[in-house]
Chains A and B, each alone.
Chain A
Amino acid sequence: MWRFLRPSRRTLRAWQLVVLVVIFGLWHLLTVPGLLPHFLFSDDNQAAFFFGEPLKIFDRIRHWFFIDGDIYRHLGVTLLETVLAFGIGTALGLGTGLWLALSPLAAAIFDPYIKAMNAMPRVILAPIFAVWFGLGVASKVALGVTLVFFVVFFNVYQGVKEVSPVILANARMLGASRRQLLRHVYLPSATSWVFSSLHTSVGLAFVGAVVGEYLGSSQGVGYLILQAEGSFDINTVMAGILVLTVFALVLDALVGRVEKSLMKWQPQAGESERL
C-alpha cells in the first residue's frame, strides 16, 4: 500500500494537496469555537476572532464569486493595475537596463542615483503618488512600476554584462551591426536573466497595486480588505488575501508558460527520451 502512496514524481500533486488540506484542517480545528478546549485564549471565541474560520472564509469567497458576484469589479481593477504596472515597469527596466549596460559612461554617471533610488523604501511614495495621480488606477500603477522597474533593470543590466565575449566577437565577425548585436545577441542572452526577474516582479506589481489600494482608493481588492478591517471582519480580510494569493499564482504560472516557450534553447538537466 505504502509503495503506491510514497512521495514520488507521480504522486507529487496528491502530496501537495495533502499539505493544503492539513493546513486548512489545522486552521479549522484550532479556530472554530467549541471544537477543541481553548488553551491559548481566555475564551472560546477569541481564536476565531483573531484568525478567522476557514469555512466562513470559503463561504465569503463563494458569495463574492457566485452569489453576490460583486468581487469581479474589484478584482478587475486590481488585475488591471497589476498588469499595467508589470508591463510598464518591465518595458522601462528592459530599455534602461540595455541602455546603461551598453554605454558605460552613462552607467557611471547614473550609478549613485540608481543605487539611491533602489535603496529608498519606495512604498512610502504611495501617498505622494495619490496626490499626484489621484485615487484612481494611475497612482497604483505608478507605485507598482517603481517596484517592478528596479528588479527588471538590475537583471537586464547583469544579463547584458555577462554576454559571452566570444559569442559577441563571433557575431561581429559574421557582420552584425550594432542594432543586430542588440537584437540577436544582447537581448536573447539577457532573456534568461529577465525571466528570473519577471517571476519576482509579477509579485511586486501585485504588491504595488494592493498596497496602493489599501492606502487610499474606492475600488479594488485592497479596498475590500481595508473596509473589512475597519469593521474587524477578519474572515473577509482572510478571504481577500486568499483570492489575491491565488491570482498571484495564476499570473506567475502565465509568466512561466511564456518563459518555457521562449527559452527552449536552454539546456535542461537530464533531457533524454526513453523509447
Chain B
Amino acid sequence: MSVAALELEGVSCTFVAHEGAAQRYTAVRDVSLVVEAGEFVSVVGPTGCGKSTLLNMAAGLLAPSTGQVRVFGEPLAGLNRRAGYMFQAESLMPWRTALGNVMAGLSFRGMADDAARALATEWLQRVGLAAFADRYPHQLSGGMRKRVSLAQTLVLDPDIILMDEPFSALDVQTRQLMENEVLALWSEKKKAVLFITHDLDEAIAMSDRVVILSAGPASHPIGEFRIDLERPRDVAEVRTAPRFVELHKAIWDVLREEVLAGYKQQLSKAA
C-alpha cells in the first residue's frame, strides 16, 4: 500500500487572543483526514467551521496545536514545499503582470528567466489567457484573476493542491467553466487535491470523496461519502444524474443539522 499524499493525524488548532490566555478559541479539534496520491477530496461544512484553518495547517502556514501533519509519510515541519495553495481571497501580486505572477514561483525557486517565461506562457495559454499576459491584476476580471491564480499554483507542478473556496467569488457560469477546467487539468496529472468549499453541489460534482465537518467551534469530521460518479464529469451535466441527486440528499441530511447549529451559534454570538 502506497503512502498517502497528505495525512492529518488528530490535529487540533486553538487560537489564543493577544489579550491573554483566557480568550481561547478552538477552531478544529481532533481531525483525522487522509488524501491519497491522485485523490480529489472535498471538505464541506457550515460557514465558520474552521475549513480554512484545516487547509492552513496542511500548507504548513499554521502549526497544529496537537496532532501531526504528514506529507508523503514525512512529518511536516515549516511550510509544505510539495503543496500548491490556491487562496480564497485575491492573492496575486498587484505589481506584477499576469505573466509575472505566473512566473513568480518559478523564479523564486531559482529557474532561469527565459525558461520560467516559456513555462509560464504555456500555462497562461492553458488557462486561456495568453492574450492577457502583460495585463496587471486590476485590469483583469475576477474570473481571469482566478485563472491566473490557478496557473500560478499549477505551473510549479505541486504534488498536492490545496484549494480554499477558490471560486466562491465567481458567478455561476464562470464558476462552472472554471470547475470543468480544474477537473480537466487534474485528470491530466492526477495530483492529490484537498478542496475546501461550502457548496455541496461543487463538492459532489468534483470529488472522489466528500468529508463533512461539524459546526464550529471545535469542529471535527462527522461524515464521509465516496462519490462513485463516473469520470470524466461535466459539472453542469452531472448534477442531473440520479446518483448525484441521491448522494446530494444523503450528504445534505447529515449537513443540514450542522448548518442550522452553526447558524444558531452565530446568532447567539451576535445577540
Q: Write the chain A residue with the least CB distance to B110.
A: A175
Instruction: Specify which chain A residues have a CB less than 8 angstroms from the CB of B138 in the assembled complex.
Output: 265-267
Judge whether B143 is part of the interface by a CB distance below 8 angstroms.
no
In the assembled complex, the Cα of A238 lies from the Cα of B95 at a distance in Å of 44
- A166 on the B face (CB < 8 A): yes
Distance, CA A177 to CA B107, complexed state (A): 11
Kindly list chain A residues whose C-beta atoms are within 8 Å of the C-beta of B94. 167, 265-266
Is B61 a contact partner of A176 (Cβ separation < 8 A)? no
Contact with B along A184-202 (1 / 0, CB 8 A): 1100110100000000000
For window 42-81 of chain B, which residues contact chain A by CB distance below 8 Å? Answer: 59, 61, 79, 81
Q: Is A170 part of the binding interface, using a Cβ–Cβ cutoff of 8 Å? A: yes
Q: Which residues of A contact B97 (CB under 8 A)?
A: 265
Q: Are A174 and B87 in contact (CB under 8 A)?
A: no
Does A180 reach chain B (CB closer than 8 Å)? yes
Contacts of A172 in B (CB 8 A): 61, 79
Q: Quick one: which of B81, B83, B91, B139 contacts A170, CB cutoff 8 A?
A: B91
Q: How far is the CA of A176 from the CA of B108 in the complex (A)?
A: 5
Partner of B79, one of A173, A180, A265: A173
B10 within 8 A of A: no
| Distance A265 CA – B101 CA, assembled complex (angstroms) | 12
Q: Is B96's beta carbon under 8 Å from chain A?
A: yes
In this assembly, does A171 line the interface, its C-beta being within 8 Å of a C-beta of chain B?
A: yes
* A106 at the binding interface (Cβ < 8 Å): no
In angstroms, Cα B138 to Cα A63, docked, is 52
Q: How far is the CA of A175 from the CA of B136 in the complex (A)?
A: 22
A177 touches B108 (CB 8 A): yes
Q: How many residues of A are counted as interface, with CB atoms below 8 angstroms from the partner's CB atoms? A: 23
Chain B 82-111 interface 0/1 with A at a Cβ cutoff of 8 Å (1 = within): 011101011111111100000011001100
Query: A residues within 8 A CB of B79?
Result: 172-173
* Pairwise interchain contact A173-B85, C-beta atoms closer than 8 A: yes
Q: Is A123 an interface residue (CB 8 A)?
A: no
How long is the Cα–Cα vector from A164 to B79 in the complex, in angstroms? 19
Given the complex of chains A and B, what is the CA–CA distance between A68 and B59 in angstroms? 72
Cβ-Cβ contact count across A and B, 8 Å cutoff = 66
B-chain residues with CB within 8 Å of residue A175 when the two chains form the complex: 81, 105, 108-109, 156
Instruction: Decide if B93 touches A166 in the complex (CB within 8 Å).
Output: no
A241 lies within 8 A of chain B by Cβ: no
Q: Does A169 count as interface, using CB distance less than 8 angstroms?
A: yes
C-alpha spacing A191/B61, complex, angstroms: 26
- The answer to whether A174 touches B61, judged by C-beta atoms less than 8 angstroms apart, is no
State whether B89 touches A166 (Cβ < 8 A): yes
With a cutoff of 8 Å between Cβ atoms, the chain B residues found around residue A267 in the complex are 138-139
Known contacts A188-B95, A265-B96, A267-B138, A171 near B104 by CB under 8 Å: yes
B214 at the interface (CB under 8 A from A): no
With A and B bound together, what is the CA distance between A189 and B92 in angstroms? Answer: 12
Instruction: Determine the chain A residues whose CB is within 8 A of the CB of B84 once the complex forms.
Output: 173
CA distance A264 to B139 in the complex (A): 11
A169 touching B108, Cβ below 8 Å: no
Known A-B contacts A184-B104, A265-B94, A265-B96; A170 and B85 likewise in contact (beta carbons under 8 Å): yes
Please determine whether B83 and A173 come into contact, CB atoms closer than 8 angstroms.
yes
> Given A167-B93, A175-B108, are A265 and B87 neighbors across the interface (CB < 8 Å)?
no
B152 within 8 A of A: yes
Question: Do B108 and A166 have beta carbons less than 8 Å apart?
Answer: no
A266 to chain B: which residues have CB within 8 Å?
94, 138
Chain B residues near A189 (CB-CB < 8 A):
95
Q: How far is the CA of A176 from the CA of B81 in the complex (A)?
A: 11
Cβ–Cβ contact B90 & A166, under 8 A: yes
Contact, CB under 8 Å: A174 / B108: yes
Q: How far is the CB of A133 from chain B (nearest CB, A)?
A: 39
Which residue of chain B has its CB nearest to the CB of A173? B85
Interface residues of A in 221-275 (CB under 8 A from B): 264-267, 271
Q: In the complex, how many angstroms separate the beta carbon of B137 from the nearest chain A beta carbon?
A: 8
Contact A188 B93 (CB under 8 A): yes
- Taken together as a complex, chains A and B put the C-alpha atoms of A172 and B156 apart, in Å, by 13
Tell me the smallest distance from the CB of A24 to a CB of chain B, in Å: 43
* 6 new A-B contacts at CB < 8 Å, known A170-B91, A175-B105, A177-B108: A167-B91, A170-B92, A171-B93, A172-B61, A264-B136, A265-B95
| A interface with B by C-beta (< 8 Å) | 164, 166-167, 169-177, 180, 184-185, 188-189, 191, 264-267, 271
Ranked 8 nearest A-B pairs via Cβ: A174-B105, A170-B91, A267-B138, A188-B95, A173-B85, A175-B108, A265-B95, A265-B136
* A-B CB contact pairs (8 Å), 24 listed: A164-B89, A164-B90, A166-B90, A167-B92, A167-B94, A169-B85, A170-B87, A170-B91, A170-B93, A171-B104, A171-B108, A173-B84, A173-B85, A174-B105, A175-B105, A176-B108, A184-B104, A185-B93, A188-B95, A191-B95, A265-B96, A265-B97, A265-B136, A271-B139
